[in-house]
Amino acid sequence: MHGVAITGSGLFTPPEVITNDELVAAFNAYADRFNAAHADAIAAGEVAAKPQSSAEFIFNASGIERRHVMDKAGVLDPDRMCPRLDARPDDAPSIMAEMGVDACRKALDMAGVDPGAVDAVICAASNHERAYPAIAVEIQSLLGTSGFAFDMNVACSSATFGIQTAADMIRAGSIRRALVVNPEICSGHLEWRDRDCHFIFGDVATAVLLERDEGLSGPRYRILSTRCATQFSNNIRNNNGFLRRAHDQMEDRRDMQFMQEGRKVFKEVLPMVSAHIAGHMQDEGVTADSLKRLWLHQANKTMNDYIGKKVLGRTPERGEQPNILQDYANTSSAGSIIAFALHSGDLAPGDRGLICSFGAGYSVGSVIVERA
């Protein structure tokens, strides 16, 4: 078995930002128009009036202050309420591939590795722009990496499941280096007209480069252990599958976008994640006081505070469990990797940390790393 290390990480941040105030103004304008257009039906009790959203609620419930998106104008247009991301012609790179390539280049530059020395690209994300050819193969072609590439989807846990998949191939010796890339256009599957969730997501792409650890001397994070788990639940679901047309479901149906039972998710996922991390640490002989940092999935600040406290057995010190969701919102699989990319350069050799992501499925993945 070979050792594996993360030698580079990269982050593509879309330049356009939507603050909570801008988001709420657009939502409330949409709700006012809806209510005016349906005034008679609302008065007759046939249609429910759309209540107003509130920036204060959003911040208090989630810790989110703003989010980056690929198209701000479409999201904030009360007559549209979704990004305008035109379908690319077949001879142009897909949007996800462009975002992913940017993040991959940064990860490769950080590690000082030539794309041609990479044997595999895994594009691990919660939505893919098309069914096939794989976005990962397109990224492979745009970067000029060797070997093979494939897409995988485990919703918000895609990054850690991708890391385990790549790490296992490196451990077994079938490849030497892999890029795990997470381009997330969450604005495309978020229902911006639903007050209960319109504030949740943002867009971003992250990438990590994994290498066989032998012979490496630069700063890196050795992967000590990985663990994945899943348990079926309908509480986070998006029905927009490839049979939509076959099902005669071309109309604007709510279940074709992201849906969740947020409260149930909170209640059910927290114990699952806490128990998963505790079991993983115990089996690897990693104690809470030896963990210097937690790079957690970024869905909700209360959730992260709870998990941080459970894992460490005390309230994490500032910096021990960096949150980035105030600036990025929930970016699905990319969240824990944004935290890792932005807050991992300062640990000392021998320091240990844990990357953990969780979400739809349900799914949870954890990666225990050590700075070298």
- Chain contacts with ligand COA (rule: CB under 6 A): 53-54, 57-58, 61-62, 156, 195-196, 199, 236, 260, 262-263, 265-266, 299-300, 330, 359-360
Q: How far is the CB of 200 from ligand COA (least distance, A)?
A: 6
Angle of CA points 315, 199, 47, to nearest 5°: 130
Nearer CB in complex with ligand COA: 142/200: 200
Q: How far is the CB of 162 from ligand COA (least distance, A)?
A: 16
**Helix count and strand count (H, E) for the chain:** 12, 13
CA distances in angstroms from 144 to 33, 89, 99, 117, 149, listed in the order given: 49, 21, 16, 9, 11
Q: Residue 52: count other Cβ atoms within 10 Å of its Cβ.
A: 13
Give the residue closest to ligand COA by C-beta. Answer: 262
Nearer CB in complex with ligand COA: 27/221: 27
Residue 50: DSSP 8-state: P
Q: How far is the CB of 262 from ligand COA (least distance, A)?
A: 3
Q: Look up tokens 């594009």; give the residue.
A: 123
Evaluate whether 353 touches 292 at the Cβ level (below 8 Å). Answer: yes
Report residue 267 as tokens. Answer: 């209640």
* Active-site residue identified among 82, 104, 123, 156: 156
Nearer CB in complex with ligand COA: 353/359: 359
Q: Which residues, at least 6 apart from 242, have a Cβ–Cβ distance to it below 8 Å?
A: 131
Nearer CB in complex with ligand COA: 327/351: 327
Please give the helix or strand (H or E) that residue 111 lies within, else none. Answer: helix 95-111
Q: How far is the CB of 214 from ligand COA (least distance, A)?
A: 37
Q: How far is the CB of 332 from ligand COA (least distance, A)?
A: 6
Burial class (CB in 10 A: 0-12, 13-18, 19+), 91: exposed
| 156: annotated active-site residue | yes
Nearer CB in complex with ligand COA: 11/299: 299
Q: Active-site residues: which are they?
A: 156
